[in-house]
């Protein structure tokens, strides 16, 4: 309710502001530009300086460049950087069950979003309990610029700054107001509708200033059924592959262990209900009480279900934000500034109804009782004493599973700062308080209440009124207390009353906060012939708290919702740092500039101890046109709250069993096959999907039972890292307006904290022969299927990446045809590899899907008078994907990859974007644009992170049109 009221209020205010802005704009005079130079702090250093050249590579995006992308969220904007890897949490990851789902996170250099430090105005932003920073909570309309430091910075900022730092600089002040309205959608189906409304206003003088803003942003849903390529799990070439358990009742006998008995020689059977229709679930089931209404189940497509049709391909979300910033100048050259921001994000994820079976929760199995009225093999059909309980499987497609996630972020900070001089040298000081807090709640529907289901499938009878009633004629259960469920009859036989009785509503609450007190001082210590020695030092005390509490019913394990335990934790850290910038040479032959920067930070954590991280960097200009630079820096990442205090929860993991004799590594490697047989499989073992049929591709399938994932590890130690960079910047005086840079980087992370996937555990056990991983896998003694697997977090080996960043820019001389400028940012990855221990083999992911070797963004800008335009090109190099089969979609059958033998090479991708703007005479600006101008169609990939289909949901799926209108007043 609060979300709805806030969202509607912001939209009304923004639309009302349009009329005010149009009227007042004609009377507005342009504010004079200030040419005064001032000392500023650049991301990566605490020393304020006039010269913005740094020894570390920093990429800057302005508000104008942000709007020219046609994107409305900070996450989407930054995920398009050439140095950004594939998002840790895809917009298409509707099956993802954690609290991060629905947010947006930046995976710089593919090192993981939790190894990137996110600052807002130089201050830490809040994180989830698992250490991820949701970029979608910062409204793009309030941003002045974004600075991306592509270098380690733990010596300056502390934990997490291993891959780099993203510093979002919000607008500092305004005179007057600005209104911005935006809408956009995909071309062919009108889906993926995006909206963005924002209004900001500011006023002030030389003594004080105040600015406020509000914004509303929406990203619309995309359903996979709207396009042929996404309408099934593996695309048009394999429309029936990947079909899941069907909506029509499937029954077997129950074996002595409570499992499914299908072997006729042992008295078993495997049947499914006769029905009309096909795998779309539209049809009518036969009489489920009649044993003759069933046929032998052999995995026919018509008896399965296309669960993709009920999933969201791209999940929708809404964000509403209120923002206030003020500054007051005080006596003695002091100033007090404060920022307050409240954001509210609501996201929704939908997947198909639950693939229910008798042992969905192994600790609370549910069977169709032999005394149930609807049991075709029960006592009421076969005759008293001749009935038997039935093991069943059936997807409840009538009620898709929907999770709504409401996330609320509050940020408040206050800083008192001042300036003073010592021996005519400038100094500055500041003392501040920073508080960022996120709270949230999830509400889920579409899961089942197992105790109620057990009663609904328990004894029942036809009473004298012709109504099926729970209980027995001698001991009836009241009609208001229990509703029998004809679960085998399929969707055509279920009733609203029965569904209401067996379904459950799940809920959870979560939150985290970061509160810090800081004190900093900096200035010039004394002057050398080459310039003044710069110094900065400071202390910080930070407290981090968090919790994640599933509902009591979800914790109990009596629901098909994933059972989980609560997470509650906190820690404090006390830190001190110092930084020194020493100019050595200036204006000398072959030494126009030589300076060194040294920094060190000491951190004392309450939960694991202390650590010290240092850095040294240099800048050297042999001539005025050429700057060389380099850095050696230590880094670290403290375990997140969830890493240490996580309660863990069940998860249905999708994985490829390496023991599968058709698609697994056991099909090619005799040593793997031998390990598999020794642990419970056989020479013809096949991994089964939820419909009970063998898998049909290397994509594997979702587990038949819930695994245990995410439990905390109190023995975790911090990650440590060493970052090395070396590069140059060339700005030739003979070519004014041109600048080019080349930076080499190498980042090596040790003691890596990682969440281990189910497939990783299986591969380490069977492919690499690790006994530790084998100890957490259990297989069904009768079928050989994996029925238990545990995976959590561990300090697991090392990670290393190495490559180059290239940046080129050229602002051409102005001509009668306008001003042209061109920019290019290119990242090349030579190595991205991991290993689990000092004696393990390295796995190099560079060049595989999600790990492009080359990503490049080129932009051509033009303006003439009131007109402007931007043409952008995004390039992604070829990648290796998993094969469909050894001889199908497998053009590199002998290639060695991280998943085994065989790969299918996919070609490069190029997307073109265009935007055209016009400034009106009433201080307005119209911007129209098209992303993916040439309508590059999506492609099939079997390594995708999307849940609904084998198409990358984080790449364009269609040509996207948008229009934005800005009005200043």
Digit-coded pLDDT (tens) for 395-420? 999 999 999 999 999 999 999 999 99
Digit-coded pLDDT (tens) for 564-595? 789 999 999 999 999 999 999 999 999 999 99
Neighbours of 212 (CB within 10 A): 17
Q: Is the pLDDT of residue 479 over 60?
A: yes
The average confidence (pLDDT) of the chain is 91
% of the chain residues with pLDDT over 90: 74
pLDDT for res 198 = 95
Only one residue has tokens 């507005």, namely 28
Radius of gyration of the chain (CA): 31
CA distance 79 to 65: 14
Find, among 137, 538, 159, 46, the residue nearest to 320 by Cα: 137
CA distance 556 to 564: 8
Q: Is the pLDDT of residue 554 over 90?
A: no
Please report which confidence band the pLDDT of residue 21 belongs to, taking 50, 70 and 90 as the band edges.
very low
Find, among 720, 717, 719, the residue nearest to 634 by Cα: 720
Find, among 571, 572, 714, 548, the residue nearest to 643 by Cα: 714
**CA angle at 40 for the pair 35 and 43, rounded to the nearest 5°:** 130
Please report which confidence band the pLDDT of residue 13 belongs to, taking 50, 70 and 90 as the band edges.
low
Q: Is the pLDDT of residue 87 over 60?
A: yes
Cβ 618 vs Cβ 682: under 8 Å: no
pLDDT for res 16 = 47
Complete DSSP assignment for 431-446 = EEEEEEEEEEEEEEEE
Please report which confidence band the pLDDT of residue 515 belongs to, taking 50, 70 and 90 as the band edges.
very high
Per the model's pLDDT, the better-predicted residue between 95 and 762 turns out to be 762
User: Mean pLDDT throughout 127-144?
Assistant: 87
Please give the tally of structural domains in the chain.
1
Residue 569 lies in a domain: no
Residue 136 lies in a domain: no
CA distance 14 to 21: 10
Residues 6+ apart with CB under 8 A from 716: 608, 639, 643, 644, 753, 793, 794, 795
Per the model's pLDDT, the better-predicted residue between 554 and 144 turns out to be 144
User: Mean pLDDT throughout 263-273?
Assistant: 95
Q: How buried is residue 836: exposed, middle or buried, by Cβ count under 10 Å (0-12/13-18/19+)?
A: buried
Digit-coded pLDDT (tens) for 275-304? 999 999 999 999 999 999 999 999 999 999
CA distance 465 to 486: 18
pLDDT for res 29 = 39
Residue 638 lies in a domain: no
Q: Is the pLDDT of residue 648 over 90?
A: no
Digit-coded pLDDT (tens) for 777-813? 999 888 899 988 888 787 888 999 999 999 999 999 9
Complete DSSP assignment for 306-361 = -GGGGS-SB--EEEEEEEEEEEEEETTTEEEEEEEEEEEEEEEEEEPPPEEETTSS
pLDDT for res 285 = 97
CA distance 613 to 578: 11
The tokens describing 146, both together, are 């974004």
CA distance 880 to 630: 33
Domain that holds residue 779: 649-716+758-793
Digit-coded pLDDT (tens) for 839-883? 788 999 999 999 999 999 999 999 999 999 999 999 999 999 999
Q: Is the pLDDT of residue 20 over 70?
A: no
Q: Is the pLDDT of residue 649 over 90?
A: no
Q: Quick one: DSSP state of residue 388?
A: -
pLDDT for res 22 = 40
Residue 807 lies in a domain: no
Cβ 310 vs Cβ 382: under 8 Å: no
Residue 762 lies in a domain: yes
pLDDT for res 173 = 81
Find, among 431, 650, 663, the residue nearest to 558 by Cα: 650
pLDDT for res 33 = 37
Cβ 57 vs Cβ 743: under 8 Å: yes
Please report which confidence band the pLDDT of residue 39 belongs to, taking 50, 70 and 90 as the band edges.
low
Q: At what angle do helices 670-678 and 758-766 cross, to 10 degrees?
A: 100
Q: Is the pLDDT of residue 17 over 70?
A: no
Digit-coded pLDDT (tens) for 180-203? 999 999 998 899 999 999 999 999
Q: Is the pLDDT of residue 36 over 70?
A: no
> Which of 77-91, 95-109, 305-319, 943-957 is the least confident region?
95-109
Q: Quick one: DSSP state of residue 113?
A: G
Residue 585 lies in a domain: no
Residue 775 lies in a domain: yes
pLDDT for res 46 = 87
Find, among 499, 340, 504, the residue nearest to 413 by Cα: 340
Please report which confidence band the pLDDT of residue 770 belongs to, taking 50, 70 and 90 as the band edges.
confident
User: Mean pLDDT throughout 542-546?
Assistant: 95
Q: Quick one: DSSP state of residue 860?
A: E
Q: Which residues pair with residue 544 across a beta bridge? A: 514, 571
Residue 670 lies in a domain: yes
CA distance 789 to 796: 18
């Amino acid at each position: 309710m609060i979300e709805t009221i806030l969202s509607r209020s912001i939209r009304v205010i923004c639309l009302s502001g349009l009329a005010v802005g149009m009227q007042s704009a004609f009377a507005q005079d342009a504010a004079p530009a200030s040419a005064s130079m001032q000392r500023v702090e650049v991301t990566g250093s605490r020393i304020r300086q006039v010269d913005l050249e740094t020894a570390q590579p920093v990429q800057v995006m302005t508000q104008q460049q942000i709007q020219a992308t046609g994107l409305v969220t900070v996450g989407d904007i930054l995920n398009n950087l050439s140095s950004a890897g594939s998002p840790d949490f895809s917009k298409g990851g509707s099956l993802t069950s954690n609290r991060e789902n629905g947010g947006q996170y930046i995976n710089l250099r593919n090192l993981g979003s939790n190894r990137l430090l996110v600052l807002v105005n130089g201050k830490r932003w809040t994180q989830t309990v698992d250490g991820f920073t949701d970029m979608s909570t910062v409204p793009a309309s309030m941003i002045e610029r974004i600075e991306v430091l592509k270098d380690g910075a733990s010596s300056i900022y502390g934990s997490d700054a291993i891959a780099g730092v993203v510093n979002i600089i919000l607008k500092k002040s305004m005179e007057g107001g600005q209104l911005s309205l935006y809408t956009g959608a995909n071309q062919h189906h009108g889906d993926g509708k995006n909206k963005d409304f924002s209004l900001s206003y500011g006023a002030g003088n030389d003594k004080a200033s105040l600015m406020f803003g509000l914004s509303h942003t929406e990203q619309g849903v995309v359903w996979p059924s709207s396009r042929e390529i996404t309408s099934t799990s593996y695309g048009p070439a394999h429309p029936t592959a990947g079909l899941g358990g069907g909506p029509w009742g499937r029954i077997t006998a129950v074996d002595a262990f409570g499992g499914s008995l299908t072997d006729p020689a042992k008295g078993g059977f495997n049947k499914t209900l006769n029905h009309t229709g096909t795998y779309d679930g539209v049809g009518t089931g036969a009489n489920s009480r009649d044993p003759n209404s069933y046929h032998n189940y052999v995995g026919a497509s018509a008896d399965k279900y296309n669960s993709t049709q009920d999933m969201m391909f791209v999940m929708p979300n809404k964000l509403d934000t209120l923002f206030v910033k003020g500054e007051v100048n005080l006596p003695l050259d002091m100033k007090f500034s404060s920022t307050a921001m409240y954001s509210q994000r609501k996201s929704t994820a939908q997947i198909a109804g639950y693939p229910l079976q008798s042992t969905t929760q192994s600790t609370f199995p549910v069977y169709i009782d032999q005394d149930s009225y609807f049991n075709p093999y029960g006592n009421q059909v076969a005759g008293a004493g001749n009935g038997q309980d039935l093991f069943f499987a059936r997807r409840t497609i009538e009620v898709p599973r929907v999770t709504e996630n409401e996330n609320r972020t509050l940020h408040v900070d206050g800083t008192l700062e001042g300036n003073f001089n010592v021996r005519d040298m400038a100094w500055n000081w500041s003392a501040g308080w920073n508080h960022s807090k996120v709270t949230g709640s999830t509400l889920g529907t579409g899961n089942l209440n197992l105790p109620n289901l057990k009663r609904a499938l328990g004894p029942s009878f036809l009473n004298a009124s012709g109504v099926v009633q729970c209980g027995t004629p001698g001991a009836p259960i009241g009609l208001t207390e229990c509703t029998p469920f004809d679960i085998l009859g399929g969707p055509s036989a279920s009733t609203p009353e029965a569904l209401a009785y067996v379904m459950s509503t799940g809920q959870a609450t979560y939150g985290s906060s970061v509160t810090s007190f800081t004190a900093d001082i900096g200035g010039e210590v004394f002057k050398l012939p080459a310039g003044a020695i710069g110094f900065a030092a400071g202390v910080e005390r930070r407290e981090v708290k968090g919790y994640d509490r599933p509902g009591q019913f979800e914790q109990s394990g009596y629901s098909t919702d994933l059972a989980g335990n609560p997470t509650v934790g906190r820690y404090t850290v006390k830190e001190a740092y110092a930084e020194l910038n020493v100019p050595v040479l200036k204006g000398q032959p072959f030494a126009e500039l030589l300076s060194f920067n040294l920094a060190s930070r000491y951190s004392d954590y309450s939960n694991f101890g202390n650590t010290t991280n240092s850095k040294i960097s240099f800048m050297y200009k042999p001539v005025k046109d050429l700057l060389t630079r380099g850095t050696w820096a230590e880094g670290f990442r403290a375990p997140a709250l969830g890493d240490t205090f996580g309660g863990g929860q069940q998860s249905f993991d999708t994985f490829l069993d390496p023991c599968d004799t058709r698609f697994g590594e056991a099909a090619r490697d005799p040593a793997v096959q031998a390990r598999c047989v020794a642990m419970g499989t056989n020479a013809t073992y096949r991994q089964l999907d939820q419909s009970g049929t063998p898998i049909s591709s290397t994509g594997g399938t979702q587990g038949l039972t819930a695994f245990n994932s995410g439990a905390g590890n109190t023995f975790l130690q911090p990650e440590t890292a060493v970052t090395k960079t070396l590069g140059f910047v060339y700005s030739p005086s003979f070519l004014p307006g041109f600048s080019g840079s080349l930076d080499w980087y190498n980042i090596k992370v040790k003691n890596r904290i990682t969440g281990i996937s189910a497939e990783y555990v299986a591969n380490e056990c069977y492919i690499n022969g690790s006994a530790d991983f084998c100890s957490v896998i259990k297989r069904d003694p009768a079928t050989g299927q994996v029925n238990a697997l545990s995976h959590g977090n561990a300090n697991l080996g090392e990670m290393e990446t190495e490559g180059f960043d290239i940046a080129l820019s050229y602002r051409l001389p102005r001509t009668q045809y306008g001003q042209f400028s061109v920019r290019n940012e290119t990242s090349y990855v030579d190595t991205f590899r991991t290993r689990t221990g000092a004696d393990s083999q390295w796995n190099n992911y560079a060049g595989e899907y999600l790990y492009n070797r080359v990503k490049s963004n080129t932009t051509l800008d033009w303006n003439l008078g009131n007109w402007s335009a931007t043409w952008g090109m995004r390039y992604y190099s070829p990648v290796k994907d998993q094969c469909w089969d050894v001889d199908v979609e497998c053009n590199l059958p002998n290639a060695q990859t991280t998943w085994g033998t065989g790969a299918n090479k996919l070609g490069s991708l190029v997307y073109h974007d265009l935007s055209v703007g016009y400034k009106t005479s009433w201080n307005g600006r119209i911007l129209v644009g098209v992303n993916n101008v040439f309508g590059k169609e999506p492609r099939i990939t079997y390594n995708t992170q999307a849940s609904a289909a084998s198409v990358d949901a984080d790449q364009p799926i269609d040509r996207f049109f948008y229009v934005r209108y800005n009005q200043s007043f």
